Every structure is written in structure tokens, then in C-alpha cells.
Amino acid sequence: MPINLMEILSVAVFLVLLGARLYLKRKEVKVKKVIIFEYSEKYRQKINELVNTHPKVFKVLSLMSLISAPILTIIGVYYLLNSLIFFKPTVALVLPSVSNFRYPGPVISVPFWIWIIAIFIIVFSHESMHALIAASEGVRTRKYGLLYFLILPIGAFV
């Protein structure tokens, strides 16, 4: 297992820059034990502006989501039960790794940068859609922001 120093260094630089960003935005940050909440009023305002300029688009999107969600849930449950009954390993934990490190057991190791980019895209789009649909239905969102475990970004909230 060769050690990739450039990858380790890039992850260290990323974590230092993220820590510096949190420090600079400390007025918008709240810490509870090992969980860090970063609030953003700017994104909340942008979401409201977007909904106000295109209200019908988000009403249609909301209706499409209401129709497709139960169908997709049933399909997902079917696949999970099917894999459970026939012992097909179709679900596994996905964790980031650096420098070709491998976790023991049924864990999928993903390179750190692919993992962090995927988490950001999934979390940002998912929570933004919650905020957009809520705003289109007239629900006032009080907070919008990112969630960190120590300094690793792991989620978002509306």
C-alpha cells in the first residue's frame, strides 16, 4: 500500500482552510460539543428570491415530488427486502479513505475527494430543495446552513 503524500497533504490543507473559514465566520457559527452549525442568512434570502421569481415552477415540482415519493419509496423497500431475503450484499457503508487505506469488513472505501464532493452535492441539493419547496408553499424558513462533525462537513439543515 503506497502512501500518497500529496493526497494526505491536500486533505490536511483542506481541513486547515475549512477550520480557518469557520474561524472567520465565527459569528455565524454555533458549537455544541463536537457538532458545529454554520448559519447563512444570505442563502436563505437567495432561496426566497428564487421562489418569488418562479413560483409556478416550484409548485409543479412540489406536486411531482408528492406523486413520485411514495412510488420510489415502495421501489426502494422492495429492493432492500429482496436483497435481505436472498442475501445479496447490495447495501454497504461508504467511508472516505486517504492514501489507499482500506477499512476491514463490508465497507466501501472511497477516495476522500470523491467522497467530500459527493457529500457536498447531495447535501446541498437535498436541503436546498427542502427550502425551495417550503418557501413555495409559504412556510417561513428561519435558518439555513451547514453541519459539521468536528470540522468535517457532514450535512445541512433548513
pLDDT category at 80 given cuts 50, 70, 90 is: confident
pTM value is 0.73
Is pLDDT above 90 for 78?
yes
Q: Which residue has the cell 470523491?
A: 114
Is pLDDT above 60 for 1?
no
Chain-wide mean pLDDT for the chain?
85
pLDDT category at 112 given cuts 50, 70, 90 is: confident
What is the mean pLDDT of the segment spanning 73-95? 83
pLDDT category at 99 given cuts 50, 70, 90 is: low
Q: Please report the pLDDT score of residue 20 as a whole number.
A: 92
- Note the pLDDT tens digit of each residue in 16-55: 998 898 899 888 889 898 888 888 888 888 998 999 999 9
User: Which cell is 78 given?
Assistant: 422492495
What is the mean pLDDT of the segment spanning 50-77? 94
Is pLDDT above 70 for 77?
yes
Q: What angle, rounded to 10 degrees, do the helices at 41-53 and 55-85 form?
A: 110
Q: Please report the pLDDT score of residue 101 as a whole number.
A: 72
Q: Please report the pLDDT score of residue 153 as a whole number.
A: 78
The runs of H, that is alpha helices, within the chain are 5-24, 41-53, 55-85, 112-136
Higher pLDDT, 125 or 156: 125
CA–CA dist 147, 134 (Å, integer) = 20
